[in-house]
A and B are shown apart, each in its own frame.
Chain A
Amino acid sequence: MSKNINSMMLKRQSAEKRFRFYGQASLAIALIMLVVIISSMTYRSIPAFTNYGLNLSINLSKENIAQDNINYRRLIRDNISLLDSGCDDRKCRKEFLRLFSSGAAYELRDTIENDPSLIGKDFSKFILFSDDADLFYKFGIDNSLPESERRLNDREITWLNGFKELGLVEKRFSTNLFTNGDSREPEIAGVLGAVIGSLLTILITLIISFPIGVLSAIYLESFAPKNKLTDFTEVNINNLAAVPSIVFGLLGLALFINFFGMPRSAPLVGGCVLSLMTLPVIIIATRASLQSVPPSIREAALAVGASEMQVVFQHLLPAALPGILTGTIIGLARAFGESAPLLLIGMVAFVVDIPGSFTDPATALPVQVYLWADSPERAFVAKTSAATLVLIFLLIIINLAAVILRKKYQLKW
């Protein structure tokens, strides 16, 4: 008899041990995947965070500046030509100049506009290399390939090695990545425009979907009459949460742009479309957290004479707030990473200027990732990973906010 019990106990205990092991193994796999994704992204994005450039001493003589329209490109060209390229034909000079970023002239313009006292002086300026030259310093080049199949020819490689021997080459942290808008030149392209576009869009989404979502959930939960219409609405809201996001994009195109005549590519429309998508999520989360408030709270409030509205706003809502906030933030985080609906309302676009208002043309971070992933220049591969990291980083901040808010408002029964 006792032997039988012992063997049964043993069986039960080992079943429990096995279950614990399965759980731990699943957790380990999930963690490993997360680590693999983040670390591979980080590894691939490393080249995007630095840029090689050349410390060029620039001589701005008064004669150069005398005209009203300074040709900065010419200035850069002339000053770069002071480095001895040993060129005597046009093709050679063009190859030589191709090693430097085409954005250099505009940077020089900004430098001089910010500090006009530089005019007439010799000063040193950091000139970025173009993407091909930059990649050469980062990864070297396969010399075994025939010249025609390399991105840089023998002459260009000699020049680049020459700069290095002269000690002119410097590696700097790429601030462009965080302070510039999009560009077709990988060395000056940045994510700031997309980040601001995303934030403006998400702000609109929050402003529209949070009050509407919470209020409709409260009404459905506490005030709505129990009839067929309410049931029908409930079923539809639950279904809407499962509709693919591109459908909301189509709706947004038809409704906001074609019917209301809102501007294309604007965060205003993007926010409206994404709030359609986020609404059902917020409603469902709010209802669930209202339901999870113990009925005793409600009954106690009613017992001391509170009105239905006082019960909801003074007792149920504060108690349900952590859950509501978590639901909202998760909904917003999903909207933040969304690109498909934005495709149809014109936010998948090349936008250089950083958006300053809700109606300025803008793009969003996930869209920026997509656009860079699709660019032929090889330096954009690293940029794509870097933009993805920025996206992940922002999402982590949003989720962290959710955790902190939940902790802050959490009530213990």
Chain B
Amino acid sequence: MKKSLKKVLFVSLLISPFILPQEGYANDQIRIVGSSTVFPFSTAVAEEFGRSTKFKTPIVESTGSGGGMKLFCSGIGFEYPDITNASRKIKQNEYNTCSENGIRIIEVKVGYDGIVLANSKKGTLYNLTTRDIYLALAKEIPVNDNDLTLIDNPNKTWKDVNAELPNIKIEVLGPPPTSGTRDAFVELAMDSGAKSFTALKDLRSSSKEGKGEFKRIARTIREDGSYIEAGENDNLIVQKLEANPNAIGIFGYSFLEQNSDKLQGSNVNGVEPEFEKILSGDYVISRSLYFYIKKNHIRIKPSLLNFAKEFTSEGAMGFDGYLADKGLIPLSENEYEEVKINTINLVELEL
């Protein structure tokens, strides 16, 4: 008797995972993937949405912008995500993949994110230009403004870069190449710095190959130890900066805001990284954040439209919304109204 009971138990244990109810599979819980930069904002909206409506709280995964797009564009149906977050605009080839799979997209611009170069309050405040940033961090730099001869970056201290800067060793902690923050940083800061060289600027506008070559020169970061890849974890960078007052860290504005008593953001091109300055676009290293809704899913998941409405509501994305408290730089009033109307009317993205 005891033995047969044991047998029954054993067998039922073995097969239980396969016969247990598969509910929760084909339900209308929203699934969100994508950028780790948008993650804190997306989760805040998801939580609020789950608490204030009768719908289930959406599941938000942090997969990175590219990974999110890949999942998002793979197909239509319950096994594919409904929304993907991105810290950049959707690329043409990603859009094409989506279209091939019959996916129609609604683009929603969420707001802006500034990328700051910050160091500990115990250290000196840096006044940098994008040219300085390029000269300090590029792998190869041209010998002078009009000469395209490239040399390995010889700059060891900030004074080597620009005589007005302090004589402090260049130590920059930043994200690895897989990170969207890194992509945006090289695109916004390094490109603009490289463009300040006449020769490079000419190269960029010369031809398609020239443009590719320019990108390579501008966006390749040195690997001799002056730029330290500090992983995706921005909190870790913040802790390391406290320990080393001379080191500069590169991360999103929300981390500077949360640690404004310990860290100072370097001025870039004479503009300090502040809420208003990023909002107005005066602070150059800032990018737009987006999320993309799968229009095909709106019919099968009624909660999706409600979620989009919650995200674009005044209370969330608006100027005084709770996302601003989380560190999002909101859209300007006109832009916000346009985004809101487009979202509610389900205007499809055409590329």
Chain A residues close to B by CB (< 8 Å): 94, 98, 102-103, 106, 142, 145, 148-151, 183-185, 204, 207-208, 211, 257, 261, 263-266, 268, 271, 346, 348-353, 357-361, 371, 373-378, 381
Contacts and interface: CB of A to CB of B under 8 A. Distances in A.
A130 B233 CA distance: 24
A349 B60 contact: yes
Interface in B2-42: 10, 13-14, 16-17, 20-25, 29, 31, 33, 36, 39-40, 42
A149 B46 contact: no
Contact of B233 (A266, A357, A374): A374
B209 interface: no
A359 B25 contact: yes
Residue from A352, A361, A373, A376 having most chain B Cβ neighbours under 10 A? A376
B22 A359 contact: yes
Given A359-B20, A359-B24, 13 more contacts: A102-B48, A142-B261, A149-B260, A151-B260, A208-B17, A264-B31, A349-B61, A350-B43, A350-B46, A357-B21, A373-B236, A374-B233, A376-B252
28 contacts: A98-B325, A103-B51, A149-B261, A184-B326, A204-B17, A207-B14, A207-B16, A261-B79, A263-B79, A265-B31, A265-B59, A348-B61, A349-B59, A350-B39, A350-B43, A350-B62, A351-B57, A352-B57, A357-B21, A359-B24, A361-B59, A374-B232, A374-B234, A374-B235, A375-B235, A376-B254, A376-B255, A378-B259
A206 to B, nearest CB: 9
Interface string B52-76: 0000110111100000000000000
B8 to A, nearest CB: 14
**Chain A binding surface SS class:** loop
B327 interface: yes
B160 interface: no
Interface string B138-158: 000000000000000000000
B59 A381 contact: no
Shortest Cβ-Cβ A-B pairs, 3 listed: A352-B57, A350-B60, A350-B43
Interface residues of B, number: 50
A257 B74 CA distance: 13
B47 interface: yes
A91 to B, nearest CB: 8
B59 to A, nearest CB: 5
A28 to B, nearest CB: 28
Given A211-B14, A268-B17, A357-B24, A346 B61 contact: yes
B337 interface: no
B213 interface: no
Interface string B243-258: 0000000001011011
Given A98-B325, A361-B29, A376 B234 contact: yes
Contact of B320 (A94, A142, A265, A375): A94
Given A151-B261, A352-B57, A358 B20 contact: yes
B322 interface: yes
B50 interface: yes
Contact of B235 (A103, A106, A266, A373): A373
A249 to B, nearest CB: 13
Contacts of B305: none
A271 B16 CA distance: 13
A151 B325 CA distance: 11
Contacts of A207: 13-14, 16-17
Contacts of B56: 353
Contacts of B29: 361
B203 interface: no
Contact of B50 (A142, A349, A352, A378): A352
A266 B23 CA distance: 12
A102 B48 CA distance: 9
A37 to B, nearest CB: 17
Contacts of A352: 46-47, 50, 57
Contacts of A378: 258-259
Contacts of A268: 17
Contacts of A263: 24-25, 79
B44 interface: yes
Given A106-B51, A374-B232, A150 B261 contact: yes
B40 A361 contact: no
Contacts of A265: 31, 59, 61
Contacts of B14: 207, 211
B10 A211 contact: yes
A266 B31 CA distance: 13
Contacts of B25: 263, 359
